[in-house]
Structure 1
């Protein structure tokens, strides 16, 4: 089995007596786009700061291609590229001059590699224009090109679609998906835009109060669905609820005299058969797709501002 691009093992972070990150453990593979989401103050930024070596780990370890951030810092950091929100460029310089300027900071970056990343992010035409004239989407792509210059194994993008119009968001989404496959790089997306995360990512990890409370493989669900929300208007309610829990171990709730639960669409005939056999009156059955947003608020709570 191939070595993970990024591996966090029981990572803890304390500031004073306050525990910010608690036992964070997950892996991300090359070629994978991983969405890292959570409410404000959950620990996303702290985790990213530890991954890129800007903050020390209290306990545990972070490894990039097997190299520990703690003991093999130089080798580990060499494999990381990152941009945070809007990348800052020199506006009086062309896109190409900006890339050449950054390339001088890292040994071994060739003219061919610069041309390669320019083509990868689709900036061949405007690359010789002053970057101050670039749209926000073009600046984001130039930032991604800069972060890719040294062929990192892990690319961290914090709010990559922040401030973009719908066309720009779609454009950046396409380039992120493409570069994960073309460059075989593990991409970590930290974003508040849950609908975009759902379309961009292969997997997501949800963090709350410094703990990873759930991971979800988005490729397992057809058409981006994360299951179905099923509503059943039945009578008597409590008896129906007990039967569904006992037979199918369903975690049900009663909302406005309707039983609601997450379930598999293809099992609905079985649920109905069970209730009919036990003399439960069924008045209505409804079904709706469960989105990442539904899943997110179900796990972290409806009243959390994200």
Structure 2
């Protein structure tokens, strides 16, 4: 059974007369990467700030490994590592010196633990260099290393791939997956890059107007492709349309020599067979499955994620 690392119970935040967060309830398990997404102003950052104790809750509770952030703040927050803004480092010091400096502020962080985290994030070589020479991706990795020093059960990363080039994004993605799997850490990622979230996360929570609109298992979201949009380049198109209608009860739109229609993926071989049987030439088949992005835009009802 998966162990719950963090649980939000009917969390609310009211500022003045405005209710910003309207009763969020969900849990995050150890060893999973949980994506937290939504449009600008949806309440992502407010929720994250409440999760790490930077902002008070108006109502509800956040429990980290069973400890309440309201009644047992010290024990609860001890289990959290977070990068809420860009990680702040001393540029004139080496990566190692930066980590040693942060380690002094925490109880029980040994040199062995620092070496362990450096190895986990593949930083054995650059750790000796001055942080001022680091690329943005390397700074992010050092920030994650710093957040991991005290062996947290929950790691919260706000926009961890922001401003990174494709290679840097890929690197961070690999390290985040490794953390979840090897350290059994629950990783929560706030992001607006849906394609990244899709590749990095196990589950995704979508927040809109301070409410959780949906929580979706990523594999389930991308596997549910029963009704796919299919495009086929065929000649003659009129005969192909007639065959589709008569033999498969499918209506198709045509443009030049391309037919577009909705059908289950499993029916494609049968459709091609019936086309061949009616002397319809098939030149190309293209399947467009509904992406996670499409599904979430449907739920949000708008075209921007931020």
State the 1:90 CA deviation.
0.3
- After superposition, what is the alpha-carbon deviation per residue over 1:161-200, rounded to whole angstroms, capped at 9, x for unaligned? 1111111111111000001111100000101111000000
Deviation of 1:117 (Å): 0.3
Cα displacement (A) at 1:296: 1.5
2: CA distance between counterparts of 1:127 and 1:113? 14
Is 1:164 the counterpart of 2:164? The answer is: yes
- Aligned partners of 1:228 and 1:288 also within 8 Å: no
Map Cα deviations across residues 30-65 of structure 1 (whole Å, 9 max, x no partner): 000000000000010010011001111111111000
Distance 1:298 1:184 in 2: 33
Give TM-score, length-normalised by structure 1.
0.81
1:300 aligns to what? 300
> What corresponds to 1:16 in structure 2?
16
CA distance in 2, matches of 1:267, 1:47: 45
| Cα distance, 1:86 vs structure 2 | 2.6
Gaps of 5+ in 2: 232-240, 243-248, 251-258, 272-284
Contact 2:228 2:290 in 1 (8 A): no
Distance 1:304-1:163 versus aligned 2 partners, 3 A rule:
closer
Is the 2:229–2:260 Cα contact (8 Å) retained in structure 1? yes
Q: Which residue of 2 aligns with 1:137?
A: 137
Aligned mates of 1:264, 1:7 — CA distance in 2: 38
Q: Describe how 1:51-62 pairs up with structure 2 within 5 A.
A: 51-62=51-62
Offset at 1:219? 2.8
- Normalising by structure 2, we get a TM-score of 0.81
Q: CA deviation at 1:259?
A: 11
Structure showing greater Rg? 2
Report the equivalent of 1:210: 210
**How large is the RMSD of aligned CA atoms in angstroms?**
2.7
Give yes or no for contact 1:156–1:188 (8 Å, CA) kept in 2: yes
Cα 1:97–1:226 change in 2 (3 A) is: farther
In structure 2, the partner of 1:78 is 78
* Contact 1:205–1:214, Cα closer than 8 Å, also in 2: yes
Match of 1:152 in 2: 152
Residue aligned with 1:57, SS: coil
Q: Provide, for residues 240-274 of structure 1, a one-character-per-residue CA deviation record: whole Å limited to 9, x for no partner.
A: xxx99xxxxxxxxxxxxx9998x8644899xx9xx
Q: CA deviation at 1:115?
A: 0.4
Instruction: For residue 227 of structure 1, report the CA deviation from its aligned partner.
Output: 3.0
